[in-house]
A and B are shown apart, each in its own frame.
Chain A
Amino acid sequence: MMFGKLSWAAIPIDQPIPLAAGAVVLVAILSVLVWVVVRGHLTYLWKEWITSVDHKRIGVMYTLLAMVMLLRGFSDAIMMRAQQAVAFHSQGYLPPEHYNQIFSAHGTIMIFFVAMPFVIGLMNLVVPLQLGVRDVAFPTLNSVGFWLTATGALLVNVSLVVGEFARTGWLPYPPLSELTYSPGVGVDYYLWSLEISGVGTLVAGINLVTTVLKLRAKGMNYLRMPMFCWTTLASNLLIVAAFPILTATLAMLILDRYFGFHFFTNEAGGNVMMFMNLIWAWGHPEVYILVLPAFGIFSEVVATFSSKPLFGYRSMVLATMAICIISFMVWLHHFFTMGAGPNVNAIFGIASMVIAVPTGVKIYNWLFTMYGGRIRFTTPMLWSIGFMVTFILGGLTGVLVAVPPADFLLHNSLFLVAHFHNVIIGGVLFGAFAGYTYWFPKAFGFRLHEGLGKAAFWCWLIGFYVAFVPLYAVGLLGMTRRMQHYDVAAWRPWLFAAGVGAVIILIGIIFQIAQLFVSIRRRAELRDRTGDPWDGRSLEWATSSPPPVFNFAIPPDVTGEDAYWEMKAHAKQRDFDRGEPDYKDIEMPRNSPTGFVCAFFATIMGFALIWHIWWMVAAGAVGAFATFVVFAWRDHDEYIIPAAEVARIDRANIEERRGLASFVGGA
């Protein structure tokens, strides 16, 4: 067979919904491509973005990927809410096999291709700037990591029109996910997408850990790092320690499915519960991989808009690292019902409650940062306050389900679904949106429209409560998750209300899209010439917006916490007026198509593996190795920006600022 399992039957001609959705996506992609080509932007796109190894550009691309995939994941969400709102005593409009794919794709996309790229994108964009350095430790690998993540996202979306996606939930529990019960390619799409994007995430993790630990500006001692750098360190340590577990676990399932191994099968001694243990040994740290950077964002935002140093900085550092460690000791609470016995369950229950302590420390620190501060209620600040209220609620229901006897009743109910959406939307997503609004002017040189941003915030906040409080209620009424239809009349009004909540969130998303468009159109009036639109405290605000490719013309010299605030307080910016600094040549990494080419071959290999097209797998592997050799063979991986050019760029930036010196001094 030339094309393995692939045939025309793989295209779901008889199912209008995925076909229409696929057509819309295809038309959108094609029209963007046509626009790019017709307007002559292709060369620019290739040279400045696709092959870029600049951490700022890669950060922006990660974030863009996350926002596009958010639309896909949200489409799944609103379809599910609509289905459950109508599927009382009826089949609704989605057949079970399609509904099952939708909830699987929703979870997979939202975690791996929205939340992950969003936080990794923001870390990429901001951390080198906050550390006062020119780039991450491994710029080309950074590009490889991004493009492998994009490959995973692409494969998940290809499954929409070529074949099918998994029907096994966002974590493919065996034995359902074994070949016997899931003979189609859906689980294989899931497995290879995540194996490939998981490598990308690991690369990003190694890169950021090394960056924080080994590349800091002079004087940037550990206890002078901004909080976001600390949470980045903790989060990426967790990536390095946890993602290999995911890779190994999924590899075992792959071996079961492709070669008839017996890791998790019912026969020949396989152990299903080993999958639960392994996948959650990754899965629980994953929760903190996502939420720790969000905590860092809130720390930056709350301190900036309260015009005060972060309260309890050292306790915040301690709390972050405590969460980092404890997060590896609670995985069993995801399956108390396994029956490991009262002692084991008690230990994991207590550990799960203990992790609420450092989290509580953080909440109090943010509150005390605000206390007595001169608070500006900008959009990022609104997201932060909305987070504090919402996250406390989610944390409390989390402590509730950490009690094993309670968990036995609530396990796999919609109460649980409401809980984790409460912490992931209220924690991670609100944090990502706060960071997006906060650092947007740094990335692009103009602010986002405030009014539309606030409108989006209120829709998201109210929509969240209208959508998920009913799910708590209906969970307590005994409704389990993932039901395609139901016959209990008492559930119906709650599910209808949840559907209304999803619509309110949809309006919020429309406001966000409008905000982006309006802000781009009115960028002249939203322009930030100071590089410091919010009166910030850390070094990313010390350079222009957007920063030059080398970030800082002169490497900063850090003398304390809140490095940039100190500079402003000591009026060090007057250095600008004290004649020219001593500009030097700057060595920067050259752009490289390595990441894109790697991802190209990874896509081919992934697709071929899913469909058992073995010759294509071999071709992809040879291509990947050839890419590696060609990359290794480069003679010049760096270029020099001459001191004169650095001086020209920096003088222009200083000129911009000097006109606004009164503002800068106004701190």
Chain B
Amino acid sequence: MTDMSLAYPHGDPHHLGRGAVHEGPAPKRIVTGYGFWIFLLSDIVMFSCFFAAYAVLLGQTAGGPRGSELFDLRSVAAETAFLLLSSFTCGLAMIAADVRDARRFQAAMAVTCLFGLGFLALEAREFADLVARGAGPTRSAFLSAFFTLVGCHGAHVSAGILWLLTMMAQVFAKGFRADIMRRLLCFALFWHALDIIWVAIFSVVYLFGSAA
């Protein structure tokens, strides 16, 4: 495997081994991936604020509907399935990129995109339904926190889809260049991180929220 590939070429990429003298600046792929991880952590800190706000405001329904009266867990389960499947196909796309198979890469990315769009469509339907039932974000502090947290994740998915299409275009126009492989690494990290946040949303917002 070359330095461009997504797999780790050697056993101790972050020089965690003890006692060794520092070998100098890390290769670009490590630096880029590392920096992007730091960004993802900061993004998760931002989400944690919205989670905290949701936890604080969960009971503040101002006489309006509670989570248990609003959430349709079947639809949420379908959203979860779409998102997790999209992560799987995203993984397939990265494997295809690793072996420089442009056709499979584009196909897997396209499927990822469709799953993402399906997720967004379900979320939009849920939001529209809530607003139509008079349970929009201005109804109560609880609903403000709900729409903000889930909507922020949705905005991330939308941005991710824009990024995904840009990556498909880049690979189509320029092939699997080293810099494009680094961007693919970041995109894949981003897409999977959205899954992690969604799992937390599913548990905290929908499961705890339905119980509240």
Q: Give the interface segment out of B28-36, B71-79, B204-212.
A: B28-36
Judge whether A241 and B42 touch: CB under 8 Å: yes
Judge whether B46 and A214 touch: CB under 8 Å: no
B112 within 8 A of partner (CB): no
Q: Which chain B residues in 26-73 approach chain A with CB under 8 Å? A: 26, 30-31, 34-35, 38-39, 41-43, 45-47, 49-50, 52-53, 56-57, 60-62
* Nearest-CB residue, chain A, relative to B58: A269
A522 within 8 A of partner (CB): no
Please give, as numbers and ranges, the residues of chain A lying within 8 Å of B41 by CB-CB distance.
240-241
Cross-interface CB contact of B144 among A217, A247, A261, cutoff 8 Å: A261
CB within 8 Å for A625 and B25 given contacts A214-B31, A270-B60, A632-B183? no
Judge whether A262 and B39 touch: CB under 8 Å: no
Judge whether B42 and A243 touch: CB under 8 Å: yes
CB within 8 Å for A240 and B42 given contacts A215-B31, A217-B24, A632-B183? yes
Distance between Cα atoms of A248 and B151 in the complex (Å):
13
Q: Give the interface segment out of B87-95, B115-123, B132-140, B188-196.
A: B132-140
Judge whether B24 and A216 touch: CB under 8 Å: yes
* Nearest-CB residue, chain B, relative to A269: B60
Kindly name the residue among A214, A247, A263, A637 whose own CB sees the greatest number of chain B CB atoms within 10 A: A214
Minimum C-beta distance from B4 to chain A (A): 16
Minimum C-beta distance from A269 to chain B (A): 3
A259-277 vs B, CB cutoff 8 Å, 1 = contact: the mask equals 1111101011111001000
Please give, as numbers and ranges, the residues of chain A lying within 8 Å of B21 by CB-CB distance.
218-219, 221
Please give, as numbers and ranges, the residues of chain B lying within 8 Å of A202 by CB-CB distance.
42
Judge whether A252 and B34 touch: CB under 8 Å: no
Judge whether B24 and A218 touch: CB under 8 Å: yes
Judge whether B22 and A271 touch: CB under 8 Å: no
Judge whether A245 and B162 touch: CB under 8 Å: no
Minimum C-beta distance from B135 to chain A (A): 12
Distance between Cα atoms of A25 and B49 in the complex (Å):
38
Distance between Cα atoms of A265 and B34 in the complex (Å):
40
Judge whether A206 and B49 touch: CB under 8 Å: no
Please give, as numbers and ranges, the residues of chain B lying within 8 Å of A274 by CB-CB distance.
53, 56-57
Main SS class of interface, A: helix
Distance between Cα atoms of A43 and B162 in the complex (Å):
35
B157 within 8 A of partner (CB): no
Please give, as numbers and ranges, the residues of chain B lying within 8 Å of A219 by CB-CB distance.
21-22, 24
B82 within 8 A of partner (CB): no
Please give, as numbers and ranges, the residues of chain A lying within 8 Å of B49 by CB-CB distance.
244-245, 248-249, 278
* Nearest-CB residue, chain B, relative to A134: B25
CB within 8 Å for A244 and B22 given contacts A214-B30, A633-B170? no
Please give, as numbers and ranges, the residues of chain B lying within 8 Å of A632 by CB-CB distance.
166, 170, 183
Please give, as numbers and ranges, the residues of chain A lying within 8 Å of B162 by CB-CB distance.
625
Distance between Cα atoms of A244 and B152 in the complex (Å):
13
Please give, as numbers and ranges, the residues of chain B lying within 8 Å of A555 by CB-CB distance.
24
A436-465 vs B, CB cutoff 8 Å, 1 = contact: the mask equals 000000000000000000000000000000
A205-231 vs B, CB cutoff 8 Å, 1 = contact: the mask equals 111011001111111111000000000
Cross-interface CB contact of B39 among A206, A216, A245, A625, cutoff 8 Å: A206
Cross-interface CB contact of B23 among A218, A270, A635, cutoff 8 Å: A218
Distance between Cα atoms of A220 and B20 in the complex (Å):
11
Distance between Cα atoms of A206 and B30 in the complex (Å):
14
Please give, as numbers and ranges, the residues of chain A lying within 8 Å of B166 by CB-CB distance.
628-629, 632
* Nearest-CB residue, chain A, relative to B144: A261
Please give, as numbers and ranges, the residues of chain B lying within 8 Å of A255 by CB-CB distance.
137, 144, 148
Distance between Cα atoms of A497 and B57 in the complex (Å):
48
Judge whether A244 and B179 touch: CB under 8 Å: no
Cross-interface CB contact of A269 among B22, B24, B30, B57, cutoff 8 Å: B57
Judge whether B60 and A247 touch: CB under 8 Å: no
Distance between Cα atoms of A629 and B138 in the complex (Å):
36
B97 within 8 A of partner (CB): no
* Nearest-CB residue, chain B, relative to A218: B24
Distance between Cα atoms of A261 and B148 in the complex (Å):
9
Judge whether A210 and B31 touch: CB under 8 Å: yes
B141 within 8 A of partner (CB): yes
* Nearest-CB residue, chain B, relative to A282: B49
Minimum C-beta distance from B156 to chain A (A): 13
Please give, as numbers and ranges, the residues of chain B lying within 8 Å of A256 by CB-CB distance.
144
B108 within 8 A of partner (CB): no
B176 within 8 A of partner (CB): no
Judge whether A220 and B30 touch: CB under 8 Å: no
Distance between Cα atoms of A628 and B162 in the complex (Å):
11
A196 within 8 A of partner (CB): no
Please give, as numbers and ranges, the residues of chain A lying within 8 Å of B137 by CB-CB distance.
255, 259-261
Judge whether B142 and A269 touch: CB under 8 Å: yes
B145 within 8 A of partner (CB): yes
Please give, as numbers and ranges, the residues of chain B lying within 8 Å of A625 by CB-CB distance.
162
Minimum C-beta distance from A44 to chain B (A): 29
CB within 8 Å for A206 and B56 given contacts A133-B25, A269-B61, A270-B141? no
Distance between Cα atoms of A199 and B156 in the complex (Å):
16
Cross-interface CB contact of A271 among B60, B139, B174, cutoff 8 Å: B60
A137 within 8 A of partner (CB): yes
* 17 other A-B residue contacts (CB within 8 Å) besides A260-B138, A261-B148, A269-B62: A205-B42, A213-B34, A214-B35, A217-B25, A218-B22, A222-B22, A240-B45, A241-B45, A245-B45, A255-B137, A255-B148, A259-B138, A269-B60, A269-B140, A274-B56, A629-B166, A633-B173
Sample (13) of A-B pairs whose CB atoms are under 8 Å apart: A213-B34, A214-B31, A260-B137, A261-B148, A262-B141, A263-B144, A268-B139, A269-B57, A270-B57, A270-B141, A278-B53, A555-B24, A635-B174
The 10 closest A-B pairs by CB, nearest first: A269-B60, A269-B141, A248-B49, A244-B46, A218-B24, A261-B144, A210-B35, A244-B45, A262-B141, A268-B62
